[in-house]
Amino acid sequence: MSEKSPKKREIKTKKVEPPKPVFVEYFESFTVTLIMALFGMTFVIQAVTVPTGSMQNTILVGDYLLVNKFVFNAGGNPLPFLPQREIERGDIIVFKYPGNKLKPKMDQDRPTPIIPYKINYVKRVIGLPGETVEFRQNEVFINGEKLPEQRVMGDSPPGPNSELSALKTREFEQHQPGESSYKVYYSQNSLDAVDRGQSVTRPSFEYGVPGKRNVVPPNHFFVMGDSRDNSEDSRVWGFVPRELIVGRAMFVYWSCDRYASGGSFFGCLTNPRLDRIGKFIK
């Protein structure tokens, strides 16, 4: 009986690829980085700037914000491994301006006409779906109950372009237990008028004011600026649909003095407000 000869073992060799040219490696790295950045800017974060003083002193004119586009649950059950939640009262949101449905001419008659759904607004959520909202004599009422907000007296400083500067503030009420963690600002003239028994409701207010209490529709929100006497908000143009909400304002990644910068890009770079950079918005 003859013995079988052992099989020869095949030795496999890995084909060595020639090294990629340096410019190809840089191009691939750049492409991957660009795709990740575009993905992040599309689905996770967005950068916005603040052009008006309606949120002073919480957010100042010249603040550049990063917005978390991912935090709010868009509907249905959020995935357990994702940090999502529902929109809550007190959240500062960024949204596409829905337009003034009652008086569209107000949008058109501005020095620079506003096109609905094109410009981003930043406001604080005050009324949730199904709630009745009423704003009377510098106080907010939700379902007939006073909303416990920290009210602060705040006025623009004297001088040119004062609307670009932070409000000069002084406390006029003691902070009470159970009040909100955020502050809202009213001018001294407005607060004095209430003390005299005068109405401070502006003619442009169409929603949530005496005689015009409103129930927030499903999937909508009632929003207001923190600078209550200098904010065109839901009191004027109504509710914010859920689908127009971009996300929640997170923190200031850059801030510049708009008055000192003269409104130019280079001036904004050379006149930073270093104490604002990195400030979380709440």
Q: Is the pLDDT of residue 28 over 50?
A: no
Q: Residue 12 domain-assigned?
A: no
pLDDT in tens, 152-189: 999 988 876 777 788 999 877 777 788 888 999 999 99
Mean pLDDT for 246-257 is: 91
pLDDT band at 257 (very low <50, low <70, confident <90, very high): confident
C-alpha–C-alpha distance, residues 253 and 255, integer Å: 7
Percentage above 70 pLDDT, the chain: 79
Percentage above 90 pLDDT, the chain: 54
Place of tokens 């073992």: 9
Q: Residue 10 domain-assigned?
A: no
Q: Residue 27 domain-assigned?
A: no
Phi, psi for residue 107 in degrees, rounded to 5: -70, -35
pLDDT band at 34 (very low <50, low <70, confident <90, very high): very low
C-alpha–C-alpha distance, residues 237 and 267, integer Å: 34
Domain membership of residue 141 as a residue range: 47-270
pLDDT of residue 157: 85
C-alpha–C-alpha distance, residues 10 and 25, integer Å: 35
Q: What number of other Cβ atoms are within 10 A of residue 30's Cβ? A: 10
**Cα–Cα nearest to 169, from 126, 252, 223, 226:** 226
Q: Residue 34 domain-assigned?
A: no
Can you read off the two tokens belonging to residue 166?
């932070």
Kindly report the average pLDDT of the chain as a whole number: 83
Q: Residue 57 domain-assigned?
A: yes
Cα angle 154-155-160, degrees, rounded to a multiple of 5: 150
C-alpha–C-alpha distance, residues 203 and 208, integer Å: 13
Lowest mean pLDDT among 22-26, 97-101, 137-141, 149-153: 22-26
pLDDT in tens, 43-78: 456 788 887 889 999 999 989 999 998 888 765 555
Distance of alpha carbon 135 from its chain centroid, rounded? 22
pTM of this prediction?
0.81
Q: Residue 30 domain-assigned?
A: no
C-alpha–C-alpha distance, residues 57 and 152, integer Å: 10
More confident residue, 90 or 69: 90
User: How many independent structural domains does the chain possess?
Assistant: 1
Q: Residue 36 domain-assigned?
A: no
The torsion defined by the Cα of 50, 53, 55 and 58, in degrees rounded to 10, comes to: 90
**Cα–Cα nearest to 210, from 193, 227, 235, 184:** 235
Helix H segments across the chain? 22-39, 105-108, 188-195, 234-237, 258-261, 265-270
Instruction: Specify the CATH number for the domain of residue 242.
Output: 2.10.109.10
**Cα–Cα nearest to 187, from 168, 166, 210:** 168
Q: Is the pLDDT of residue 24 over 80?
A: no
Q: Residue 217 domain-assigned?
A: yes
Can you read off the two tokens belonging to residue 119?
């410009």
Q: Is the pLDDT of residue 37 over 70?
A: no
Can you read off the two tokens belonging to residue 162?
């004062």
pLDDT band at 259 (very low <50, low <70, confident <90, very high): confident
